[in-house]
């Protein structure tokens, strides 16, 4: 029996979902085909499953529109995950006016398919994937930090004359504590700071979005008392008028996720624990929180002062093409603004699609090694996924600008848009087309006015 070894750098959501799908697919194939082996080795830097808990404490949204729901259904885990959801009834966009939180729109009131999403704790999702991957036979290794790699060609010497008959291309991965592992393909699923990417494409650096998110998940005595009514049993963003916004998620069990987004011009990487050391940053964040009034300020301050408070630097980047037998998925390939609420969905979709494509291609040839056209399959995967993900990444850059606008024109346009949304929610018969047309007319009117003013001044 020929053994094909797939190495996966990173045992996060994308890496584990890939392992599950590939092994599931292979086990189905093996019941019909001649037996051959596929070994999946997942290399995770965190020291243990327990250590992942702190890394994955807050919730995320699995969405129908980005493909996350289809991906977990494909993994056979949709029902299990729905049963473990946080209980959020959908996302909300709100604004703060005169220190009062005012609802702009709630997804379930606007989109008929809003019920399709699942808001779930990251660790719960990750644990479900880990359990499934291990049950299917994945070799998941903790404390396995990838620090180096090289792609090599092995010659297979056969026959008495010792003539070289076959070449096997493989990837050698070096771990921090010394061991070297060899595989036929390496899937880089090691997140936004990907070491694999830094080794193979050192010129590619993520784009800093001039925004950081500071906050934590905090316990409250009573969620209903701690949150304005519009935010209870929901998750979503509240836009301020001084260039900040705050993301709130009711996590259930009297826990609330609070993330205050602050525009920043720091180009250097902000440390995760910066709030505990950088007094100026903490003071700036506490000052920004005052805008959110009595309804939210105490909660934001509590999160900022929590020992677990952390800083997330918002970054994004366009998809990275495969390099030989190394392919990138999830944040390692295309980090996306956290405001998109889409990165984990994209990682899941990548994982399922790549596993499906590789599963067919990896059926071993008779004798030595796996097919030589694997790099072509990896390239096809890139060509199929990159255009749509690059669009998502690009589109989400403007979300931050809209949420954090401070210019008079920007605020006018945002207020107008929000007013149209509110009107459409209160008057459900007003179709999206009418709302969009009204908005387009307003934008055109403003543009026309500006143009006439410019001409008059010229």
**Under the criterion CB under 6 A, does residue 10 sit at the interface with ligand FAD?**
yes
Judged by beta carbon, residue 52 or residue 435, the one nearer ligand FAD is 52
CA distance 138 to 148: 22
What is the arrangement of strands in the sheet containing 180-183, beginning at the earlier edge strand?
A: 146-158, 163-175, 180-183
The DSSP code sequence of 145-162 is -EEEEEEEEEEEEETTTT
Exposed (0-12), middle (13-18) or buried (19+): which is 446, by Cβ within 10 Å?
A: middle
Among 93, 128, 181, 195, binds ligand FAD (CB under 6 A): 195
Among positions 376-435, residues that touch ligand FAD (CB under 6 A) are none
The 209-238 site mask, x for binding ligand FAD (CB under 6 A), equals: ----x-------------------------
**Under the criterion CB under 6 A, does residue 9 sit at the interface with ligand FAD?**
yes
Judged by beta carbon, residue 208 or residue 369, the one nearer ligand FAD is 208
DSSP 221: S
> Closest separation between CB of residue 408 and ligand FAD, Å?
30
> Closest separation between CB of residue 374 and ligand FAD, Å?
21
The 331-370 site mask, x for binding ligand FAD (CB under 6 A), equals: xx-----x--xxxxx-x-----------------------
Judged by beta carbon, residue 96 or residue 213, the one nearer ligand FAD is 213
Judged by beta carbon, residue 359 or residue 396, the one nearer ligand FAD is 396
Exposed (0-12), middle (13-18) or buried (19+): which is 195, by Cβ within 10 Å?
A: buried
Strands 163-175 and 245-252 come out as: unpaired
Among positions 261-320, residues that touch ligand FAD (CB under 6 A) are 312
Phi–psi pair at 344, nearest 5 degrees: -70, -35
> Closest separation between CB of residue 9 and ligand FAD, Å?
5
CA distance 250 to 236: 9
Residues 6+ away with beta carbon under 8 Å from 20: 75, 129, 132, 133, 136, 138, 351
Judged by beta carbon, residue 392 or residue 424, the one nearer ligand FAD is 392
Beta bridge partners of 256: 218, 250
3-state secondary structure (DSSP) of residue 12: coil
DSSP 323: B
Phi–psi pair at 48, nearest 5 degrees: -160, 170
Give Cα 50 distance to the centre of its chain. 21
> Closest separation between CB of residue 154 and ligand FAD, Å?
24
Which range binds ligand FAD by CB under 6 A, 133-141, 283-291, 325-333, 434-442? 325-333
Contact 314, 211 (CB under 8 A): yes
Judged by beta carbon, residue 101 or residue 340, the one nearer ligand FAD is 340
Which range binds ligand FAD by CB under 6 A, 105-113, 329-337, 398-406, 436-444? 329-337
> Closest separation between CB of residue 28 and ligand FAD, Å?
24
CA-angle at 40, arms to 36 and 41, nearest 5°? 140
Angle between helices 293-305 and 279-289 (to 10 degrees): 160
Contact 236, 94 (CB under 8 A): yes
Judged by beta carbon, residue 37 or residue 193, the one nearer ligand FAD is 193
**Under the criterion CB under 6 A, does residue 51 sit at the interface with ligand FAD?**
no
**Under the criterion CB under 6 A, does residue 330 sit at the interface with ligand FAD?**
yes
Among positions 137-156, residues that touch ligand FAD (CB under 6 A) are 145-146
Footprint of ligand FAD on this chain (CB under 6 A)? 9-15, 43-46, 60-61, 145-146, 189-191, 195, 213, 259, 312, 330-332, 338, 341-345, 347
């Amino acid at each position: 029996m020929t053994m094909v070894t797939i190495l996966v750098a990173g045992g996060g959501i994308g890496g584990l979902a890939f392992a599950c799908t590939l092994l599931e697919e292979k086990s189905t194939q093996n019941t019909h085909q001649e037996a051959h082996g596929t070994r999946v080795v997942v290399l995770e830097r965190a020291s243990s499953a327990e250590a992942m808990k702190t890394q994955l404490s807050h919730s995320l949204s699995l969405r129908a529109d980005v493909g996350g729901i289809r991906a977990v259904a494909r993994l056979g885990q949709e029902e299990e995950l729905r049963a473990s959801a946080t209980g959020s009834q959908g996302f909300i966009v709100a604004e703060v006016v005169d220190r009062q939180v005012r609802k702009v729109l709630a997804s379930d009131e606007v989109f008929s398919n809003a019920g399709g999403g699942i808001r779930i704790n990251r660790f719960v999702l990750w644990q479900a994937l880990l359990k499934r991957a291990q049950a299917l036979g994945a070799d998941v290794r903790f404390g396995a930090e990838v620090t180096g790699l090289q792609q090599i060609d092995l010659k297979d010497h056969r026959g008495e004359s010792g003539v070289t008959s076959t070449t096997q291309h493989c990837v050698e991965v070096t771990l921090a504590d010394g061991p070297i592992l060899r595989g036929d393909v390496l899937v880089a699923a090691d997140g936004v700071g990907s070491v694999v990417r830094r080794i193979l494409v050192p010129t590619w650096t993520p784009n800093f979005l001039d925004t950081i998110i500071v906050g934590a998940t905090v316990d409250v005595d009573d969620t209903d008392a701690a949150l304005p009514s519009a935010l209870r049993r929901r998750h979503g963003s509240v836009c301020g008028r001084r260039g900040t916004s705050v993301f709130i998620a009711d996590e259930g069990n009297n826990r609330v996720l609070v993330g205050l987004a602050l525009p920043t011009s720091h180009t250097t990487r902000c440390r995760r624990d910066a709030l505990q050391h950088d007094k100026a940053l903490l003071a700036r964040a506490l000052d920004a929180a005052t805008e959110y009034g009595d309804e939210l300020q105490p909660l934001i301050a509590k999160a900022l002062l929590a020992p677990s408070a952390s800083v997330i630097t918002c970054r994004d980047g366009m998809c990275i093409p495969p390099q030989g037998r190394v392919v990138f998925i999830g944040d390692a390939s295309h980090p996306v603004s956290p405001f998109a609420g889409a990165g984990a969905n994209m990682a899941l979709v990548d994982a399922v699609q790549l596993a499906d494509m590789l599963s067919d291609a990896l059926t071993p040839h008779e004798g030595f090694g796996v097919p030589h056209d694997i790099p072509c399959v990896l390239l096809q995967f890139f060509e199929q996924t990159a255009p749509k993900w690059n669009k998502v990444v690009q589109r989400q850059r403007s979300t931050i600008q809209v949420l954090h606008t401070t210019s008079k024109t920007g605020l006018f346009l945002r207020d107008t848009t929000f007013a149209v949304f509110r009107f459409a929610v209160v008057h459900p018969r007003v179709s999206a087309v009418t709302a969009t047309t009204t908005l387009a007319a307003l934008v055109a009117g403003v543009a026309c006015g500006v143009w006439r003013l410019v001409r008059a001044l010229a």
